[in-house]
Structure 1
Amino acid sequence: MFALVTEKAYGQHRSYFDALDNEDHGLQWLRLADDGVLHGPSNAHPEVGWLSSDVFFGGLIDRFFEIVEAAPEFRWLQSAAAGVDLKEYQRLMSRGARMCNAHLTAIPIAEFVLRAVLDVFQDAGRWRAAQAEIRWEHHNFREVWRSRWLIIGLGAIGAETARRAQAFEAHITGVRRHPTGDEPVDAMISPAEMPAALPEADVVVLAAPATPETENLVDENFLSAMKPGSVLVNIARGKLVDDEALLRALEGDRLATAILDVFNTEPLEPDHPYWTHPKVVLTPHSSGGGIGRWDRGAELFCDNLRRLLAGEPLVNEVSSMQLLTTDLPFALGSQ
């Protein structure tokens, strides 16, 4: 069986591939280099492939799918991303190929949220400023302990965030349209019940996908219902927030801070008010950048490849129904 991976992923995770080779599955590796050249036996076509993170960010995605779609016997794709909305996925599955997605960034995003909220609650900038000015200065700060969190979207990212906030003994209310019953929260409510929960929340985390139903979810009414001094965190998609409404709300006393990692336009325009607003903490869509996601991706690919060869159920297999229902709000994580 020929398996398609990138040259970079093959080199970075060689131990995982060597372990598969030692198990004598009869695998041969087709390696896609950064320049688009495919290394391996000539005229070979892959049957399986790993769409690793470097494909998305290294400019190889078109070349990767060109190879896959030209392979007449291609039967399984492992993606490093959670999203399943690429048209190439639909084309592959319409041919009978199977596909699995991944939730590799849930851990770093959840860690990012806790770090960012702690930074705001503790007003850590005052310590950094005092150190820079060589001043020995104390200040009091808010605690996460017994704070109340509203997490909108309880997919992989929302759930990982909830677990970490609970470790600080925060009270977590989750919002999800179709609860499974095992979410790591203290209370679960439906989207219809969300407005009543906003006035109680010290921290509101947006972790839902961008859909027609969630576009501009955070509007004038949403913001006016939030608790005075609360913190808004958006690690979902920029489309969930009405920027003009948020800027107006930040001029008042209701929101203490908006922690924003995603925006309606990316990169964010250089003259956008968010850059210099004193109540905005801005990062360039980087909350999922934890390097542990690379090893987790390799482990998942190799585990699923073993399962495929053994005829066992695959982890995170995507159904054709999921491709048709990715617009259901609160059903999946956002990244």
Structure 2
Amino acid sequence: MFALVTEKAYQQHRPHFDALDREGHGLRWLRLSDGGQLHGPADACPEVAWLSSDLFFGGILDRFFEIAEGAPDFRWLQSAAAGVDLDGYQRLMDRGARICNAHLTAIPIAEFVLRAVLDEFQAAGRWRVAQAEGRWEHHNFREVWRSRWLVIGLGAIGAETAHRARAFEAHVTGVRRHPAGDEPVDEMISPAEIPNALPDTDVVVLAAPATPETENLVDDGFLSAMKPGSVLVNIARGKLVDDEALLRALDGDRLAAAILDVFNAEPLDPAHPYWTHPKVVLTPHSSGGGIGRWDRGAELFCDNLRRLLAGEPLVNEVTSMQLPADLPFVTGKKRQ
């Protein structure tokens, strides 16, 4: 069996691949270089592949999908991403290939959220400016302790964020269509109850997938219901936010800040007002950049490959008809 991986991932995680080879599965590795060249027998076609994290930044993602789609016996793809909204995934599924996603970035994204909220609450920028200017200047700041958080979407990312916020003794309310009963929150509400929760919430975290039901979830009505001085954090998808509505809200005196890692169009236009707005903290879709995700991804790929070869159930398998369990369907939002 031929397995497609990037040269970078193969070299970085060589011990994992060597372990698979020693187990005698008969695997042969096709390695895709940074320049898009495929190293292996000229007539080799992969049956399985690992879409590792480096592919999202190296400029050869289309080439990777082209190779997988061109293989007549291709049957399984392990992705390093949680979302499966790229066209390449659907094309492979339409051909009968199995797809598994991953939640490798939940830990760094949750850490990013806590760091960003602490930075905002503590007005840490004032200390940095004072240090640069050589001024010894004291200021008071807000505490996360006993603040109230609303986490919309309690998949892997939302759950990790809630868990960490509660470690700071924040009160966390979660939103999920179908609660499992073991969510790491203080209380659960239904999506229809979101408007009632907003006036008492200090931090709103968007962690839901982008779907027709969540598009422009954060609109004028949503923002006008938020608590004065509250903070909005979006680490989900830009489509959840009506940009014009958010800018109007930020120009007023209701919101303290918007922490935005994702946007409707990426890269963000250099002329976009988010870049210079005094209440916007902007990062380039980088909240998931924790380096621990690389090892977690290699371990998941190898574990699932063993499962595939043994005919066992796969971890995180998705289908073209599957909707995420943490999709908040907000009453009144219509499909476009």
What is the one-letter code of the residue matched to 1:70? G
Are 1:32 and 2:32 counterparts? yes
Aligned residues: 329
Runs in 1 of length 4+ with deviation above 6 angstroms?
Answer: none
CA contact (8 A) 2:162 2:172 kept: yes
Q: How does 1:127-142 map to 2 (within 5 A)?
A: 127-142=127-142
Q: How does 1:23-102 map to 2 (within 5 A)?
A: 23-102=23-102
Deviation at 1:142, TM superposition (A): 0.8
Cα distance change on mapping 1:75 and 1:271 into 2, 3 Å: closer
Q: Deviation string for 1:147-184 (max 9, x for gaps)?
A: 10001111111111001101101110011122222211
Deviation at 1:330, TM superposition (A): 3.1
Q: Give the unaligned 5+ runs of structure 2.
A: 330-336
TM normalised by structure 2 equals 0.93
Query: What CA distance in whole angstroms lies between the structure 2 residues aligned with 1:127 and 1:293?
Result: 32
Are 1:227 and 2:220 counterparts? no
Query: What CA distance in whole angstroms lies between the structure 1 residues aligned with 2:276 and 2:95?
Result: 50
TM normalised by structure 1 equals 0.93
Q: What's the secondary structure of 1:160's corresponding residue?
A: helix
Query: What CA distance in whole angstroms lies between the structure 1 residues aligned with 2:327 and 2:228?
Result: 27
CA contact (8 A) 1:84 1:326 kept: no
CA contact (8 A) 2:178 2:325 kept: no
Deviation at 1:75, TM superposition (A): 1.7
What is the one-letter code of the residue matched to 2:93? M
Report the counterpart of residue 275 of structure 2 in structure 1.
Answer: 275
CA contact (8 A) 1:206 1:234 kept: yes
Of 132-141 and 53-62, the range deviating more from structure 2: 53-62
Query: What CA distance in whole angstroms lies between the structure 2 residues aligned with 1:72 and 1:172?
Result: 49
Using the aligned pairs only, state the percent identity.
84
Query: What CA distance in whole angstroms lies between the structure 2 residues aligned with 1:31 and 1:265?
Result: 32
Q: Deviation string for 1:197-243 (max 9, x for gaps)?
A: 00110100111122222222111111111111111111111221122
Report the counterpart of residue 330 of structure 1 in structure 2.
Answer: 328
What is the one-letter code of the residue matched to 1:188? M
What is the one-letter code of the residue matched to 1:84? V
Report the counterpart of residue 145 of structure 1 in structure 2.
Answer: 145
What is the one-letter code of the residue matched to 1:330? P
Report the counterpart of residue 116 of structure 1 in structure 2.
Answer: 116
Query: What CA distance in whole angstroms lies between the structure 2 residues aligned with 1:314 and 1:18?
Result: 22
What is the one-letter code of the residue matched to 2:292? G
Query: What CA distance in whole angstroms lies between the structure 2 residues aligned with 1:148 and 1:111?
Result: 18
Deviation at 1:129, TM superposition (A): 1.2
